Amino acid sequence: MTFLKRGVPLGIAFLMGVLMAFQYYVPHEHSKAFLELMTRWDKIIAGFAVFIGAYSLFHLHYTRIKRRAAGWGYSFFVFVGAFVTIAFGLYNGGEAFWHDKKEGTMFDWIYMNIQVPAGATIFSILAFFMASAAYRTFRARTVESTVLLVAAIIVMLGRVPVGALISQYIPVAADWIMGVPNLAAKRGILLGVSLGAIATSIKIIFGVERQYLGGGD
Amino acid sequence: MRKDRDFWILVGTLALFGAVNISFFLVGRLQVNWEDFGIVLAAGITLTMYSFLYKDNPAFKIAENMYVGVALGYTVIITWFNALKPDLYDPLLVPLFTWERTPEYLLFAPMVLGVFMLMRLSTRLAWLSRWPFAFVVGLGAGITIPNYIHTFVLKQIEPSLRPVFSGGETVYMSINTLLILLGVISVLIYFFFSTEHKGPIGVVSKIGIWFLMVSFGASFGYTVMGRMSLLIGRTMFLLKDWLGVVQ
């Protein structure tokens, strides 16, 4: 049983890791076809994973309602939103879900008039919170924090017309900050992150890193 | 007393919103159709979300929870139409029962692995979900190694090591090339913890911190402006599409 619970998944990870790393260096049509097939399999498995996420969210809100936790009444609206959207998605404008997706259905209407405005508004609210957080935390106490503050102000002013009205050099300075020191730092961070990702991938393939198996046997 | 005031603010706002929309429908500013009803709904959601700037309130919580539900429903349906239907249902399950064409039997493997993933919900068979997880993680690890080496290591080192003078460039461009090389090396040294940051290493590491600070400041400014453009977008929607005061 330990073999099925530990040995097989470690073997699958090793096999898939080695095959996928190897196929990159084999410029043959079979190699490309193999990559396409595996990517398709991955897409299908990820599709099933969405249902685990849905179950998890429903379970969380069902428990909140069952236990009458603080604000439990609002959890009903999660179910209302999800079931109405799923129902119209499955109805598919009268053609049912086993046919190709129809455009301009009630499902698209819900997306355009609920999800898009709600998502955009939530993210735009962050502008207020970021401004208030910056006001409270951005203090030019040290040279480093002053550098950060000045860079942020120049980039913000350089992206709006008022920056050019103050001085024609502000947009140029903003472009220079984005294109030179910002690029250099981002590149350094990216190199470090990439080396870390490669090292972790090697550890996963050879079974040194096993966190993805979860706890237990 | 304060709760009463908040209650009346909520009722008053809802009444005002309702009155404005009814008057728009009566004067013909909005037509009785799904498109204009969508504008009213989107305006209502936008205003409800912004009401959080005053304080947390029931209307915001309802809209927030509804948004979570709709986002989940949308993800489930899009997953069906973009992944499961074209890649599993159409090529395997439909031909299997209709025999109109040969089923793609190979797709049984990811289907079984997908079903195994759902076993995560069972206490006795949860261990079976390790197989699809191992497949996904192994596949990702295998793809990561060559792709990261090519895209993020070699392709990033190449322009960093560009010659400072190779003919044709201005002094300004050469200084920038040199600064980028200095920035990359100093940032990498800052993140190199195997040696104590003292002496020359400490000086270079300090330069790395300066580059990082400029980068963090630039990223902050860039993000703020991105959020501002979203804010302008929502405000324009309210003023132009809903109220019609801006053309």
pLDDT tens-place string over residues B105-129: 999 999 999 999 999 999 899 999 9
Q: Are residues A78 and A129 in the same domain?
A: yes
Task: Note whether B222 and A127 are within 8 A (CB).
Answer: no
Q: Is the pLDDT score of A134 beyond 90?
A: no
Kindly tell me the sign of the dihedral angle through the C-alpha atoms of B79, B75, B138, A32. Answer: positive
Kindly determine whether residue B143 and residue A117, on different chains, have CB atoms separated by under 8 Å: no
Residue tagged 């270079």 (tokens): B204
In chain A, residues 153-192 whose CB comes closer than 8 Å to chain B: 153-156, 159-160, 176-192
Of A14, A15, A123, the CB nearest to B227: A123
Q: Are residues A97 and A144 in the same domain?
A: no
- Measured in whole angstroms, the distance separating CA B192 from the mean position of its chain's CA atoms is 31
pLDDT at B1: 52
Rounded Cα gap, residues B130 and A200, in angstroms = 18
Kindly determine whether residue A150 and residue B71, on different chains, have CB atoms separated by under 8 Å: no
Q: Are residues A81 and A133 in the same domain?
A: yes
Task: Note whether A35 and A21 are within 8 A (CB).
Answer: no
Of B46, B180, B224, the CB nearest to A183: B180
Kindly determine whether residue B72 and residue A81, on different chains, have CB atoms separated by under 8 Å: yes
Is residue A4 situated within a structural domain?
Answer: yes
Is residue A102 situated within a structural domain?
Answer: yes
Q: Are residues A129 and A153 in the same domain?
A: no
Question: Which residues contact residue A138 at a Cβ distance below 8 angstroms, ignoring those fewer than 6 apart?
Answer: A145, A148, A149, A152
Q: pLDDT for B206-222, tens place per residue?
A: 999 999 999 999 999 88
Residues in chain A with CB shorter than 8 Å from the CB of B213 are: 144-145, 147-148, 151
Residues in chain B with CB shorter than 8 Å from the CB of A127 are: 224, 227-228, 230-231
Q: In the A/B pair of chains, how many CB contacts fall below 8 A?
A: 405
Last residue of a domain, one of A116, A137, A158: A137
pLDDT at B10: 86
Q: How far is A166 from chain B (nearest CA, A)?
A: 17
Residue tagged 């809903």 (tokens): B242
Nearest chain B residue to A90, by CA: B77
Q: Which amino acid is at B119?
A: M
For chain A, say whether B209 makes contact (Cβ under 8 Å).
yes
Q: pLDDT for A151-169, tens place per residue?
A: 999 999 998 899 999 999 9
> Using the 8-state DSSP alphabet, how is residue A160 labeled?
S
Rounded Cα gap, residues B39 and B35, in angstroms = 7
In chain B, residues 1-20 whose CB comes closer than 8 Å to chain A: none
Q: Is the pLDDT score of A127 beyond 70?
A: yes
ipTM given for this complex: 0.89
Q: pLDDT for B60-74, tens place per residue?
A: 999 999 999 999 999
Count the neighbouring beta carbons within 10 Å of the beta carbon of residue B8: 10
Is residue A206 situated within a structural domain?
Answer: no
Q: pLDDT for A66-107, tens place per residue?
A: 999 999 999 999 999 999 999 999 999 999 999 999 999 999
> Using the 8-state DSSP alphabet, how is residue A94 labeled?
G
pLDDT at A187: 95
Kindly determine whether residue A47 and residue B80, on different chains, have CB atoms separated by under 8 Å: yes
Q: Which residue has the higher pLDDT, B162 or A172?
A: A172
Is residue A63 situated within a structural domain?
Answer: no
Domain ranges within chain B, ordered by starting residue: 2-96, 104-160, 164-247
Is residue A55 situated within a structural domain?
Answer: no
Kindly determine whether residue A127 and residue B231, on different chains, have CB atoms separated by under 8 Å: yes
CA atoms within 13 A on the CB side of B88: 23
Nearest chain A residue to B108, by CA: A41
Count of the separate structural domains present in chain A? 3
Q: Is the pLDDT score of A51 beyond 70?
A: yes
Q: Is the pLDDT score of A139 beyond 80?
A: no
> Using the 8-state DSSP alphabet, how is residue A24 labeled?
T
Q: List the one residue out of B54, B120, B61 whose CA is nearest residue A64.
A: B61
Q: Are residues A173 and A183 in the same domain?
A: yes
Is residue A152 situated within a structural domain?
Answer: yes
Q: Are residues A154 and A100 in the same domain?
A: no
Q: Is the pLDDT score of B104 beyond 90?
A: yes
For chain A, say whether B22 makes contact (Cβ under 8 Å).
no
The pLDDT mean for chain B works out to 93
In chain A, residues 16-35 whose CB comes closer than 8 Å to chain B: 16-22, 24-25
Angle between helices B199-236 and A181-205 in degrees, nearest 10: 100
Kindly determine whether residue B221 and residue A86, on different chains, have CB atoms separated by under 8 Å: no
Task: Note whether A180 and B174 are within 8 A (CB).
Answer: no
Range A140-164 burial, b when 16+ CB lie within 10 A, else e: eeeebeebbbbbbbbbbbbbeeebe
Of B137, B147, B180, the CB nearest to A13: B137
> Using the 8-state DSSP alphabet, how is residue A101 labeled?
P
Q: List the one residue out of A121, A36, A97, A54 whose CA is nearest residue B234.
A: A121
A188 is in which domain, residue-wise? 139-200
Interface test with B, best of A175, A176, A187 (most B CBs within 10 A): A187
Residues in chain A with CB shorter than 8 Å from the CB of B53 are: 125, 128
